[in-house]
Amino acid sequence: MFSKPERPGHTVIGAGTVFEGTLRVAGTIRVDGTVRGDLLADGHVDVGPKGIVEGQVSGDSVAIGGRVEGRVTARTVLHMVKTGLVKGDVQYGSLQVDRGASIEGTLQGQARTAERPAEGSVTESVVAA
């Protein structure tokens, strides 16, 4: 008779889809289309190789294989896939950058302890060794 409480789901912005406005997601989201506005997720954000976000991106963990033009905040891990491009400031808990990925903006690591601040600035492409 009574259903179980719903757990946060998985949202997909498919190829060819354009979303305009602020998008708030309780679970995870994958973007293969275009989001024109802020994308705010409680869970994981995955911007696919053909995905585009023109606005702020915020999530628990974030993987970028497409293009983001705006601030990116990854509370735990930011993974820049080799096809990924960010034009904007980036804040992250930890950072993984694949060879070929590009970040044009300021990088700010969230210190895990008061002894270990991690902050820097990048104005050119970031390339992993």
What is residue 111's predicted lDDT score, i.e. its pLDDT? 65
Q: Where are the domains of the chain?
A: 10-101
What is residue 65's predicted lDDT score, i.e. its pLDDT? 98
CA distance 33 to 93: 27
Calculate mean pLDDT across residues 48-56.
98
Above 70 in pLDDT, residue 119?
no
pTM of the model: 0.81
What is residue 110's predicted lDDT score, i.e. its pLDDT? 84
Contacts of 123 (CB under 8 A, 6+ apart): 104
- pLDDT 10s digits, 6-43: 667 899 999 999 999 999 999 999 999 999 999 999 99
Q: How many CB atoms lie within 10 A of CB 54?
A: 16
